[in-house]
Amino acid sequence: MGAILLLLCILLQALAIESVGPLIRAGSSLAFVRLCVTSSDYDECLQMSKVANQTISCVRARDKYECMKLIIDNEADIVNLNSEELYLAGRLYNLEPFAMEQYDGDTQYYKSVVIINNKANINSMSDLKGKRSCHGGLNSTHGWDIPIGLLLATMTMSPDCRGEMYSVSKFFDQSCAPGPWSSDSGIDMELKQLHSNLCAACQNSTLCSDTDEFAGDEGALKCLFSGYGQVAFTTSKTVERFLLSDKLDRLERRLMNNYVYLCLDGTKVPLDGKPCEWAHKPTNVFVTAGSRDKRDKEWFLSYLQQLFFRFVPYKPSWWRMKSLFSDPMHVTQILPVPTHLQRWDRYLGNFISSIEKPLPLCELNSVTMCTTSPEEELKCFDLQKAAFSQRLRPEIDCKRRASKQECLELIAKRQADLVAVDLSDLYEAPQAIVQQLEPVGVAQGFSDYAVAVVRADSGIKFLYQLGGRRSCHASFGDLASWLSPLSVLTERSLLDQASCNKADQMAEYFGGSCVPGAADLRVNHYRSGSDKLCAACRGDSEGVHQCERSSSERYHGQAGALRCLVEGAGEVAFVSLSSLAGNVDGRSQERWARNVPLALDSRNFRLVCRSGPSMPLGDYERCHLTKLPGKLMVGTKFTSKEDRLAIRQLLIRLVDKFATGTERDMFELFGPYLNKSDLMFDDSTRRIVPMKLEMSTFDMAIRLHFDPSYQQIPITNKDANCKIVLTTTSAAAAQSLISGSLYALVVLLNCLVCLMAIVSSSTLSQNLNLNHRYTSNQ
């Protein structure tokens, strides 16, 4: 019998698939529907298109935000959006909802309601001021965002221009808004100490966690009914479930008469009456361009309805893709959006206030990110809009400058707040700039490595054998090809750890090098060792622009350093593993590489290890110089503790929303953008680890998150010709014994010892500037 039923199901499924195409085309001038889907759903969409007889075309997009642009550009027809995404699509692009999901038989996910103690003398929204409030959680849309947004929008709650948490603290006497306020435990604790009033009405006001008795939707009611609060913000369904449950004894049920719904107009409704909502969250909608003809919208709706009902009993594997329906287990119908609601603002109604949370009469409170290219700036502004729609505050602003150095200068002047930089960018920055900066966070992701590459027939097997050999580097100050070998050679005592000039030491250690930029005063101050560091460079095809830090020098960049090795100008190339892998075995896109395909066979190269003999390229995990660190998020340290916390919390929430959370489908924070790589962040970034306020020094960031050898690298003074570096051991010992100004004195004494040694050997330059920034343990 079971086998017969299974066969019947298969036959019915086949009939459904065969009948989709002809039915949906009847009476329509359109050949197919172009559904925009995110990359993660694209393969499943292609399966759906195949079984639907190609009547639906899948348009691949990076995220929902790109889908909105594709619809405006007439490269796609429709996309499924939630309420926050609809806010963005309607406000920015005038996309209109035409079909909505029915979710568990309803067209609203929930209704946000307000319950008050009828004896608390509350007869209007303004009477809530000075009362004790129960929210269920700080990150609850119905328990926090909707009521706070409406209280601000109606000017019932006077805005504190520092932000909504300050505004709420001033408005209510005490509150319970438990739960994790930040996914970083340190930031979470700092925020709760700063805004302790928002935890004061919780049962455990110290922890104020999501395990609190008053956490969650029902927790907000318990907070109210237990007398800790006088007003609770929750959902109508929660109230109905709670009253029907066995959680109330007879006495408590009689006391329910003391509680009522508070409506927006100040009227009150008994709990057993019809709830008056402050706002509701509507279900997902399908949107299309506002300029679309009415008949097109009707046809799109008809298509979706037929597609839904043909497959809903059997649910093939592609049914679960979120780009089609929000939740295939709970969506019960596809309905037309009523004509009077076919505008984004009308469809969302009061829910808009939960997103905008206006602070009228306040100057814009923003975090300004510095960018260095038009594409990066465009991504920043797109992130700004996506973040605003997800209620992330402070708002993001964007400024563009020509280089990372200019961005660092802008931050030092407090005209911008954040920029992502490599350690090499700090290496080049002047003392006056670096002293005003601090690491806000450290980007982490898939590992890349700095490697030393030699030809397999070179006879070089060990690191110490590189002495006297010709070397190839991407550029002066580059992380993988300059700082990494510099740090490892210093750590291995192949370079003097107390040397006052690493550039001269590198020049003397190798037997001639190509380090593009070594003669550039902007990066190699006083051009230390530049003759030898530029000796292996060749310039362009006419022999000019030799050793320039640009593509005019044929050996500039990661691919250029490898070319330097392949063409015999050098005997070792220092590059990143990712660039090496992208240029061997026929993968290189460089023109010069086409002429030497055999020379770029990976079997012709070996890696020189940090310790031990050389190995094939495939053994990079065991044989590399350093694991390359991610970018540092850098800000100014000369700002208030509150602002420093706000910036860190914004970074954390950006990652939580757009990198690891469900909103990643809405906007993807990391990865290629507009077919460009490494905009704002490295593509490989997966998270950003915030630096604790009391540990926000570059020394500490390097010690905690970088390869230990990087502690040998000074973050140099741009105007310095002498750079003192303490050994890892001595610096750690010094810091364990002394701190503050005394530690600075020890560093200064080390510097003086070094200077005296230099004077005695008659190598001290007459123009030596003694006003240096000496950095230890970096």
What does the longest C-alpha to C-alpha distance in the chain come to?
100
What tens digit of pLDDT does each residue of 349-369 get?
999 999 999 888 888 889 999
Residues 6+ positions from 524 with CB-CB distance below 8 Å: 476, 477, 503, 517, 518, 530, 533
Residues 6+ positions from 179 with CB-CB distance below 8 Å: 137, 138, 139, 140, 208, 209, 210, 212, 215
The arithmetic mean of pLDDT across residues 631-658, rounded, is 96
**Does residue 422 have a known ligand-binding role?**
yes
**Does residue 109 have a known ligand-binding role?**
yes
Please say whether the beta carbons of 250 and 263 come within 8 A.
no
Total domains, the chain: 5
Residues 6+ positions from 400 with CB-CB distance below 8 Å: 370, 371, 372, 373, 374, 376, 377
Q: Is residue 186 part of a domain?
A: yes
How is residue 94 written in tokens?
A: 């005038």
CATH number, residue 595: 3.40.190.10
Residue 777 has pLDDT above 70, yes or no: no
| 207 in the same domain as 89 | no
With 0-12 / 13-18 / 19 or more C-beta atoms within 10 angstroms meaning exposed / middle / buried, residue 312 is middle
Query: Could you give the count of Cα atoms lying within 13 Å of 645 in the half-sphere of its Cβ?
Result: 18
Q: Is residue 295 part of a domain?
A: yes
| 231 in the same domain as 165 | yes
The torsion angles phi and psi of 397, rounded to 5 degrees, stand at -125, 165
Per cent of the chain over pLDDT 90 is 73
502 or 175: which leads in pLDDT: 175
| 612 in the same domain as 502 | yes
Q: Is residue 721 part of a domain?
A: yes
Residue 596: what pLDDT?
Answer: 84
Residue 280 has pLDDT above 50, yes or no: yes
β-bridge partners, 421? 632
What tens digit of pLDDT does each residue of 43-95 get?
999 999 999 888 999 999 999 999 999 999 999 999 999 999 999 999 999 99
Torsion of CA 475, 477, 481, 482, to 10 degrees: 120
Residue 125 domain boundaries: 108-280
What tens digit of pLDDT does each residue of 598-616 get?
889 999 999 999 999 999 9
Residue 670 has pLDDT above 80, yes or no: yes
β-bridge partners, 43? none
How is residue 352 written in tokens?
A: 């808009």
What tens digit of pLDDT does each residue of 681-709 get?
999 899 999 999 999 999 899 889 888 88
Report which of 695, 687, 646, 689 is spatially closest to residue 669, judged by C-alpha positions. Answer: 687
| 609 in the same domain as 737 | no
Q: Is residue 464 part of a domain?
A: yes
Q: How far is CA 157 from the centre of its chain?
A: 32
| 194 in the same domain as 308 | no
**Does residue 429 have a known ligand-binding role?**
no
Residues 6+ positions from 263 with CB-CB distance below 8 Å: 269, 276
Give kind and range of the element (H or E) at residue 398.
strand 395-400
**Does residue 265 have a known ligand-binding role?**
no
| 173 in the same domain as 159 | yes
The arithmetic mean of pLDDT across residues 545-562, rounded, is 95
| 325 in the same domain as 191 | no
442 Ramachandran zone, left/alpha/beta (phi>0; psi -120 to 50): beta
Q: Is residue 686 part of a domain?
A: yes
Report which of 19, 366, 318 is spatially closest to residue 161, judged by C-alpha positions. Answer: 366
Q: Is residue 357 part of a domain?
A: no
Residue 443: what pLDDT?
Answer: 95
Q: Is residue 756 part of a domain?
A: yes
**Structure letter (DSSP) for residue 151:** H
Residues, the chain: 778
Torsion sign across C-alpha atoms 758, 763, 768, 774: negative
| 145 in the same domain as 80 | no
Q: Is residue 354 part of a domain?
A: no
The torsion angles phi and psi of 713, rounded to 5 degrees, stand at -95, 125
| 622 in the same domain as 550 | yes
Residue 31 has pLDDT above 90, yes or no: no
| 118 in the same domain as 44 | no
Q: How confident is the model at residue 320 (pLDDT cuts 50, 70, 90)?
A: confident
| 645 in the same domain as 615 | no
What tens digit of pLDDT does each residue of 152-162 get?
999 999 999 99
Q: How confident is the model at residue 635 (pLDDT cuts 50, 70, 90)?
A: very high
Cis status, amide bond into 516, omega within 30 of 0: no
Q: How confident is the model at residue 233 (pLDDT cuts 50, 70, 90)?
A: very high
| 83 in the same domain as 28 | yes
